[in-house]
Amino acid sequence: MNNSRVKSNIAWTVAGILAVFWFMITAIPFLFMVINSFKGQFEMLQKGVFDLPDSWFPTNFIGVLENGFLSYFFNSVILLAICLTILLFITACASYPLSRMKFKLRGPTYALIVACMSIPIHVTLIPIFKMSTVIRTYDSIFALIGPYVAFAIPISCYILTTFMTSIPASLEESAEINGCGKFRTFFHIILPLSKPGLSTLAIYNGVAIWNEFAFANTLTQSRKAQTLPLAISAFKGEHSMNIPVIMSVLVLTVLPMIILFIILQEKLVRGLMAGAVKG
Amino acid sequence: MKKIASLVQSRQRSVRIAATVFLAPVIIIMAVFIIYPIVSTFSISLFDWNGISKDREFIGLENWKMLIHDRVFWFAFKNNLTLMVCSIGIQIPVAIALATFLDGAGRKVNFFKVVWFLPLLMSSVAIGFLFSYALATTGGIVTTISQSLGGGKVDLLGRAPQALYAVISVVAWQYIPFYMVYFLAGYGNIDINIYEASIIDGATRGQYFLHIGLPLLSPMIKSACILSLIGSLKYFDLIYAMTGGGPGTATELMATYMYKLSFSHFKMGYGSTTAAGMFILVTGFALMMQTILKGNGSSNDE
């Protein structure tokens, strides 16, 4: 008995040390980013990286915000709003027959949509780039809507179809007996009941779209069209030697996510995990 | 009798019509932005084309022959495989360890949980840029720590073999929180009665973990492996931002190589070939995993 208690104490001590070690590995890069974002360009070079800045006045942040950072931010917000509206509506529409109707091609259609999950976006990059120059959307946020929505569909259909399957069939049957058509059933019964599933989808895809880089880097060129992930490299291009400015841009790009995390907490975590449920 | 049959038929037809209408938008968008581009990539791969000029030369399978003998592409593929093996080998065990710690210690370590979770809130590009500075020889974190301990400068990203492992470590830093939360949710789903029963029967925490927790987690470990495997083969953002594939081709991946060929060197014909090659390899691996895991699943059922 005593022996096992000693053993358990040793185990917890070792676990505690490892936990603190991993805590430091996670926290130090963030500390590095935040501390240095308040420093001046030469202050960072002269002092040690982990010395506190002379002043906590957010000079770099004000500079970044005044030099067009907000334009990247608003581009991202508008794009996100458009993409999520389209995506949630059309995947809800598609998941309804896939989860609750019986027809011959249901299995193959569902399999085909879900199979698209593993497609690398790079295989579509050149034709989509070409397409955007042909339909003249190149270098505007509208060029990004199509590919963002398309690549979010497979996982979204998967999550939402699973969700809708769990809605009890009796509700729908009684609606049908009362003469409610498929379309009315969808809008008045299925869609309102799917709200929890839709909010999970909004979080999962919202974060993915907010952070997307490859398409945005390919299909946009100027500040009027570029999204937040491109702000970092744009500021890096202008201030390549001024590391504190870049650190302040990094802080500003993470900030919305941290605020969202504080507001939503477990809901955000569940949303982020939604993509892992497939298997 | 005939009337009933026709009723059934008309019902089936109305279901078919409704299903078509509901599915149409999704099918059309996927056809335009996924299926058509894939076909188009394969057809462009047969041309010599710079992406801008109107004329492009049909060269048949020349690009594909070049791809098969392209050392850089296969080196990049090898890097993808290294990333894949290291990701599965590092991320999943560490994530299980962290999740087990959080599950065992309960609410009093909530602060750890929140901080460990933080990397998940940062985008890949932001992480890539952050670490390109954090691992730099001047003013980087590792060099600062090494100098304060009396060591010299540490050049992690500048030379070939260690650059790849430095990048792989950063990828692990990014994804471990993800799998940690995932496995933590898995522990949360285990019936509390099972835990209580095992403790009453005199099992220690370690025994509970080895004989009950881990086996119950194994389906999740399986799907985490698939996710990690496919993800490693498609990996792009972080490495493109952090090293751009360099120094030389040390951290080149299939995706960064394809991207640079197409959009820095404007070899869109050959770029399409590498993209198509990447597509074939990723799809092949995905199908292989599916069959292997399906085989496993059925043998477990028996």
- CB-CB neighbors (< 8 A) of A263 in chain B: none
3-state helix, strand, coil in chain A (%, to 5): 80, 0, 20
Q: How confident is the model at residue B185 (pLDDT cuts 50, 70, 90)?
A: confident
Which residue in chain A is spatially nearest to B207 when comparing CA positions? A8
Do A32 and A92 fall within a single domain?
A: no
Q: Is the CB of A90 inside 8 Å of chain B's CB atoms?
A: yes
Q: CA-to-CA distance for B164 and B245, rounded, in angstroms?
A: 9
- Which residue of chain B comes nearest to A217, CA vs CA? B263
User: Is residue A146 assigned to a domain?
Assistant: yes
In angstroms, the separation between the Cα of residue B41 and the nearest Cα of chain A is: 6
Give B2's pLDDT tier (boundaries 50, 70, 90): low
Note the CATH number of domain B70-301.
Answer: 1.10.3720.10
Answer whether residue A61 is part of any domain: no
List the one residue out of B161, B143, B160 whose CA is nearest residue B152: B143
Copy the structure tokens of residue B281. Answer: 């390899």
Banded pLDDT at B296 (limits 50, 70, 90) = low
Are residues B241 and A273, on separate chains, in Cβ contact within 8 Å?
Answer: no
φ and ψ at B133, to 5 degrees?
-90, -40
Contact B130 A157 (CB under 8 A): no
The size of the A-B interface in CB pairs under 8 A is: 242
How much of chain B exceeds pLDDT 90, in percent?
Answer: 49
Indicate whether A53 belongs to any domain.
no
What residues of chain B lie within 8 A of the CB of A129, using their CB? 51, 263
Closest CA to B116 of A51, A28, A190, A276: A28
CATH value at residue A180: 1.10.3720.10
Q: What's chain B's average pLDDT? A: 88
* Chain B partners within 8 Å of A156 (Cβ): none
Residue B54: pLDDT band with limits 50, 70, 90: confident
B93 CB within 8 Å of a chain A CB: no
The rounded distance, in Å, linking the Cα atoms of A256 and A251 is: 9
- B287-293's contacts with Cβ under 8 Å and 24+ in sequence apart are B289/B226, B289/B229, B289/B230, B293/B222, B293/B226
Task: Give residue B298's pLDDT.
Answer: 41
**Integer Cα distance of B76 and B260 in angstroms:** 13
Res A273: pLDDT: 80
Same-domain check for residues A117 and A245: yes
Map tokens 């009796």 to a residue.
A170
Spell out which residues of chain B touch residue A147, defining contact as CB-CB under 8 Å.
33
**Any idea where the domains of chain B sit in the sequence?**
2-44, 70-301
**In this complex, which of A7, A28, A94 lies closest to B23 when CB atoms are compared?**
A94
| pLDDT score recorded for residue A122 | 95
Question: Tens of pLDDT along B115-167?
Answer: 998 998 899 999 999 999 999 887 788 888 888 888 778 888 888 888 999 99
Domain identity same for A95 and A154: yes
Regions of chain A short of the pLDDT cut 50: 279
Residue A269 included in any domain = yes
One domain for residues A25 and A128: no
Residue A106 Cα to chain centre, angstroms: 29
Of A162-176, B200-214, B242-256, minimum mean pLDDT range: B200-214
One domain, residues A31 and A75: no
Specify whether A23 is located in the same domain as A152: no
8 Å CB contact of A94 and B97: no
List B48's β-bridge partners, or say none: B57
Task: Find the residue in A nearest to B52 (Cα).
Answer: A130
Q: How far from the centroid of its chain's Cα atoms is residue B288's Cα?
A: 16
Tally of domains within chain A: 2
Nearest-CA distance from A29 to chain B in Å?
A: 7
Residues of B in contact with A40 (CB under 8 A): none
Assign A195 to helix, strand or coil: helix
pLDDT over 60 at B90, yes or no: yes
Q: Answer whether A122 sits within 8 Å of B237, measured CB to CB.
A: no
Domain region containing A224: 67-276
Task: Say yes or no: ipTM exceeds 0.95.
Answer: no
Cβ contact (<8 Å) for A123 and B38?
yes
Q: Answer yes or no: is A184 within a domain.
A: yes
pTM for the whole structure: 0.90
DSSP character at residue B245: T
How do beta strands B47-48 and B57-58 pair? antiparallel
Least confident among A170-174, B77-81, B238-242 = A170-174
